[in-house]
Amino acid sequence: MSSVSSTTTAVAPATTLRPRTATAAESARARWGRRFQHGGWFVAPFFVMYGLFVIVPVVRGLYLSLTDANISGDHTSFVGLANYREALKDDLVWSSLWHSVKFTMYVVPCIIVVALLMALIAHHAVHFKWLWRLCFFAPFLLPSAVVGNLWWWLFQPTNGMVNHVLGLDTPWLAQKSTAMTAVVIATLWWTVGFSFLLYLAALQNIPQHLYEAAELDGANAFKRLLHITVPNLRNITGLVLALQILASLQVFDQVVVMYQFGPGPEESTRTFVQYTLEQGFTSYRVGYASAISFILFLIIAVVALGRMWLLRNREEAAR
Amino acid sequence: MTAPTPVMRKSRSTWTPAQIALTVVAAALSLIWVSPLVWALSTSLKTPTESVTSPHWIPKDFTLDSWKSVFEAGNIPNWFVNSLVVSVCVTFIVMLVASLAAYGFARTEFRGKSALMALTMAGLMFSPAILGVPLFTTVQSLGMVDTYWGMILPQCAPAAMVYILYKFFQSLPRELEEAAFIDGAGRWRIFFTIVLPLSKPSLSAVGIFTFIASWNNFLWPYMVTNNPDLMTMPNGIATVQNAFGIVWPKLMAGGLIAGLPLIIVFVFFQSQIVRGVAHTGLAGQ
Amino acid sequence: MGLPGLNRRQLLAGVGGLTVAGSLGFAALGTGADALASSARTRVRYWNLFSGGDGANQVAMVDAFRTAHPDVAVKASTLTWGGPYYTKLAMAAAGNRAPDLAVMHQGRVPGFAPGRLLDPWDMDLLTKYGVKEADFNPVLWQRGIVDGKLYALPLDIHVQLNFYRKDVCEKAGLLDADGKLPSAGSTDEWFEILKSAKKQLRNGVQTLGLHANDQNFAWWFFVAFYQQLGGSYFNDDQTDVTFDTDKATQVLEFFRKHVTDGYVTVGAADGEAFIAGSPFTWEGNWSVPYFNGEKVGYGAQPLPPVFGTPATHAESHSFVLPHQSDRGGAANEGAHMLAAYMIKHATAWAGGGHVPAYLPTFEDPAYLKLSPQSEYSKPAMEHPATEPHIWFAGSTGILAQRIGPVVAASNLGSAKPDAAARRMKSGLEQLLAMKNPMDGRTAAQELKGAGA
């Protein structure tokens, strides 16, 4: 999500860049630069937290993935790469990974299209702007467990709202063919508000004079949308895409609540995160669970690095 | 969709045909988006029997029993307090820790800075969803399973927030800080009396976003709390049931109680929250 | 350490007044009241998973215990049934934050690391509170013993039943002189019954609730009928899979026929449909209080012996002591006291539909009067079909998670019965070769007592 390049742009000591002025001020500035050599104290609290709850678990996870550790922590022995070998042959690893990927492929385009649509509406509307904004964004403020329970109820075949409104009797959550669709609908409803706000903010940042100029050139509303709005939203779309892909691959909460922590009809909604937690906390195989976690991490890392690479390429092209 | 803004400005009434069409579309979409919440509210006001007999919007036997029983018998008030304690602590610690670290990265020099910065950036790729199992065993070995600390502290290492504030501090002009330094202020005083007040919009954005994320966090509290007395709202709702099976009106009443506080807050602080979320999100660009 | 109040106080000490005095102050108030209430008396934390129709009976029994023993404060928590419950229990025991007493399905005990995640019962304390081996069904008692120590104190046995509505069955002329449904002795007889009942129904009402797409129910029903055919899973040494795919196919085809012949609507809410007029449903006996509450005239019998030998799926709830490194003292004694009380007052528990494990209950006239319990409890007790006694088995255990979905897939028609039977067999082979993560040994090694 960020580019590594920014990490290397260390802030140069201010003194070197400035012209000579009064000596007192100059020496003060020199001290300012020097004394901040001990600025490490500023980052120390963060790194205590970060070390304990990110670095240690990563290292520990790597170690655990090479053992047959169980949840009680005793009887641990080193098993080398056996967990990884097992994971490659484990059908459930691949099917649950596929479910997470499939979910991502369905939900991300839906979110982008609907969020953009909502943002265009809220941006251009003159009346009741605040109301539309409230309605579109409100579901994002609900806890995932509430969202899961809510849609579990809405999708009930005989008493649920969805079938009542649509005049259907589809058992949404009970059959393989609709199970994932139901999760996608619930997720779209819940999370689209966040992307909607990002788009809205981006729309407000597009300079008005571009539109005015285009209008003078005789471009109609549709042309202005196509030639001004869309190109100006390219960056934000890239961001939304990346954020949503990364979040969707890690989907867990709403799915398990909608399916009461089960794997869904014919195991069609078990997500990857769910499978790691099942291995770790239901089957008590902490070692194996750690190993498969790193498979997901690899995929996440590829996506994140891929985005960085794209960004850097674009920056270079822009230069 | 794209009502031509300039055209509209020229006309006398703002109710141009385009605006009318836009309002209709907006209203339809809003209706769809709000209907699940309305249905939940309607269910919560029905009796359990009515809720499972032929679906309808307006309760015939209007009753507040479910709301009352949720407040009186259930664990929900307890979970509500837990959620509040956890979210407030997480927000406070994150704001403090992240702003300090971001300032350290943006304005000070120390050995190993770029390495630490790179390490922080790498942290953007880890989440409890990926690290869940080893994070749990780590917290277990710290003896923090089923404690407030166990819930709070692992949420307090937010690489993303450090990055957002880092970008912001970099954009601040240096002159003010330098002037204060020349006047003899120490760097801590500069940070607390000059930099932080200047950063109010960014800090409140980080704070708002952290609070929402923490209030709604399900996965981590789910992993680390087993004692129902200690659970936060989302976690308790999902894993603890009352002893009488699924009673939809109660489930919906509980859900609304968990969800409404933030929505009400949103109604009052709409523009700040919108700016906050947008700013936090956009900073990732 | 286990008291949330202490953590809350530690937290307050740590963060003390830094910010938001309001919300933290509120929490502190809660702590004060809590601490006062609990320090004066023995506090027993008790976890259970009774969220079905049996939940209300359980709450009533705990309340009765509180009245009888005001010196013991019971903090009872009902967690979501199934996988999440065992996850929470295991994590609590592993994190040394376990409750003092918990309910566990007996089939789960071998996989729950007796000795590590579970502590053994103190026989002297049990004797003190009037619990003795002679009062229990010997099979159930023996199943709770691991390495000579009692880990699971049996509370009940619970079975899958065929619930039938008397109104519909009477109209279809299916009931005998006593107003009971004679059990079907063959698949043909069973489908005849369904056919004549179906004629009495409006369109759109299903004839039988089969939970066809529910992996747990699908597996439980399979266990019952597979046992009726005399099928087995593993050899005695637990070195080989003896699963008979022909017999399994026969069972799966029997299930599938209900769907293809239109007796079952997939995805219907079976319990609600039964109340609304559907004549049959296969449910656990825990649905008895639910159906009783709805004033439906109905009977309940073990699943029909369509393959000749009677057998119906049975599991057992038992009390366990989750591992605490410092187990002992008043809370531990309170846990023994509470468990003994619940077991000895099993008539109230039987009101929840379960068949009590405590034999003197069967001489209680109040128990014998319960209906429909009287109709099913004896045959169910005599012909239980249980999952194999092995570490990965037990209610909602790894076995059910792996094999159940295969049965459900066959029910729904997305896998052919014979292919599903083969998949079940290969699943069993994988599980048998798997090492129990708790001790690093396979089932066979555990049986022989060999080292890892």
Which chain B residues are Cβ-neighbours of A55 within 8 angstroms? 119
Structural domain harbouring B203: 70-282
Q: Which of C434, C371, C372 is nearest to C397 (CA)?
A: C434
- Which chain C residue lies closest to B246 (C-alpha atoms)? C51
Question: Residue C289 above 90 pLDDT?
Answer: no
Q: What is the mean pLDDT of residues B159-183?
A: 87
Three-state DSSP class for C73?
A: strand
**Does the CB of A170 have a partner CB in chain B at under 8 Å?**
no
Number of neighbours of residue A80 by Cβ within 10 angstroms: 9
- pLDDT tens track for B62-105: 999 989 888 876 688 889 899 999 999 999 999 999 999 999 99
* Cβ-defined contact of B284 to A243 (cutoff 8 Å): yes
CATH at residue B109: 1.10.3720.10
pLDDT at position B4 is 47
* Cβ-defined contact of A7 to B117 (cutoff 8 Å): yes
Interface probe, candidates C1, C6, C9, C20, chain B, greatest B C-beta count within 10 A:
C20
Q: How far apart are CA A70 and CA C436, in angstroms?
A: 9
- pLDDT tens track for A115-138: 999 999 999 998 898 899 999 999
pLDDT at position C9 is 45
- Across the interface, of A175, A282, A286, the residue whose CB is closest to C266 is A175
Say which CATH class C4-157+318-373 falls into.
alpha beta
Please tell us whether the domain made up of C159-315+384-448 is placed in CATH 3.40.190.10: yes
Whether residue A96 sits in one domain with residue A72: no
CA angle C194, C195, C200 (to 5 degrees): 95
Q: At A86, which helix (H) or strand (E)?
A: helix A82-89
- pLDDT tens track for C187-210: 999 999 999 999 999 877 899 999
Among A48, A82, A116, the domain-final residue is A82
pLDDT at position A30 is 62
* Cβ-defined contact of A156 to C269 (cutoff 8 Å): yes
What average pLDDT does chain B have?
Answer: 85
pLDDT band at B12 (very low <50, low <70, confident <90, very high): low
pLDDT band at A319 (very low <50, low <70, confident <90, very high): low
- Across the interface, of A122, A143, A301, the residue whose CB is closest to B234 is A143
Question: Residue C25 above 80 pLDDT?
Answer: no
Structural domain harbouring A19: 5-82
- pLDDT tens track for A193-243: 999 999 998 898 888 888 889 888 888 888 888 888 988 898 889 889 988
- pLDDT tens track for C149-188: 999 999 999 999 999 999 999 999 999 998 999 999 999 9
* DSSP sequence for C312-374: EEEE-EEEEEE--TT--HHHHHHHHHHHHHHHHTHHHHHTTTPEESBGGGGG-HHHHT-TTHH
Question: Residue C21 above 90 pLDDT?
Answer: no
Whether residue A254 sits in one domain with residue A119: yes
- Decide: B277 and A160 in contact? Cβ < 8 Å: no
The top-scoring range by mean pLDDT among B185-199, C1-15, C420-434 is C420-434
- Across the interface, of A74, A265, A285, the residue whose CB is closest to C213 is A265
Percent of chain B topping pLDDT 90: 33
pLDDT band at C83 (very low <50, low <70, confident <90, very high): confident
Whether residue A137 sits in one domain with residue A16: no
Q: Which of residues 191-230 of A touch B (CB under 8 A)?
A: 194, 197-198, 200-202, 211-212, 215, 220-222, 224-225, 229
pLDDT band at C31 (very low <50, low <70, confident <90, very high): very low
Which chain B residues are Cβ-neighbours of C16 within 8 angstroms? none
For chain C, give every domain's residue range. Answer: 4-157+318-373, 159-315+384-448
Number of neighbours of residue C148 by Cβ within 10 angstroms: 6
* Bridge-based pairing state of the strands C101-105 and C42-48: parallel
pLDDT band at A34 (very low <50, low <70, confident <90, very high): low
Among A82, A100, A116, the domain-final residue is A82
Q: Which of C384, C399, C388 is nearest to C447 (CA)?
A: C388
Predicted model pTM: 0.86
Whether residue A172 sits in one domain with residue A238: yes
pLDDT at position B33 is 97
Whether residue A141 sits in one domain with residue A56: no
pLDDT at position A31 is 61
* Cβ-defined contact of C437 to A70 (cutoff 8 Å): yes
- Which chain C residue lies closest to B83 (C-alpha atoms)? C23
Is B64 contained in some domain?
A: no
Among A21, A48, A82, the domain-final residue is A82
* C159-315+384-448 matches C4-157+318-373 in CATH topology: yes
Residue B4 or A162, more confident: A162
Q: What are phi and psi of C220, to 5 degrees?
A: -60, -45
Number of domains in chain A: 2
CATH at residue A152: 1.10.3720.10
pLDDT at position C24 is 39
Bridge partner list, C317: C105
Three-state DSSP class for C32?
A: helix
Dig out the tokens for A107 from the structure: 């939900």
Question: Residue C247 above 60 pLDDT?
Answer: yes
**Does the CB of A91 have a partner CB in chain C at under 8 Å?**
no
pLDDT at position C267 is 75
**Does the CB of B121 have a partner CB in chain A at under 8 Å?**
yes
Whether residue A141 sits in one domain with residue A102: yes
What average pLDDT does chain C have?
Answer: 86
* Cβ-defined contact of C88 to B136 (cutoff 8 Å): no
Three-state DSSP class for A5?
A: helix
Q: Which of A271, B233, B158, B231 is nearest to C91 (CA)?
A: B231
Q: How far apart are CA C225 and CA C245, in angstroms?
A: 13
- Which chain A residue lies closest to B164 (C-alpha atoms)? A2
Is B28 contained in some domain?
A: no
Q: State how far residue A82 is from chain B, nearest Cα, in angstroms.
A: 18
Q: Where are the alpha helices (DSSP H) in chain B?
A: 5-10, 17-44, 48-52, 65-72, 76-107, 113-122, 128-141, 148-152, 159-171, 175-182, 187-190, 196-198, 200-216, 219-224, 233-239, 248-268, 270-282
* Cβ-defined contact of B237 to A36 (cutoff 8 Å): no
CA distances in angstroms from C39 to B75, C3, C73, C77, C356, listed in the order given: 21, 10, 10, 19, 35
pLDDT band at C5 (very low <50, low <70, confident <90, very high): very low
Number of domains in chain B: 1
Whether residue A160 sits in one domain with residue A30: no
Chain-centre distance of CA C146, in angstroms?
Answer: 20
Q: Which of C246, C365, B110 is nearest to A42 (CA)?
A: B110
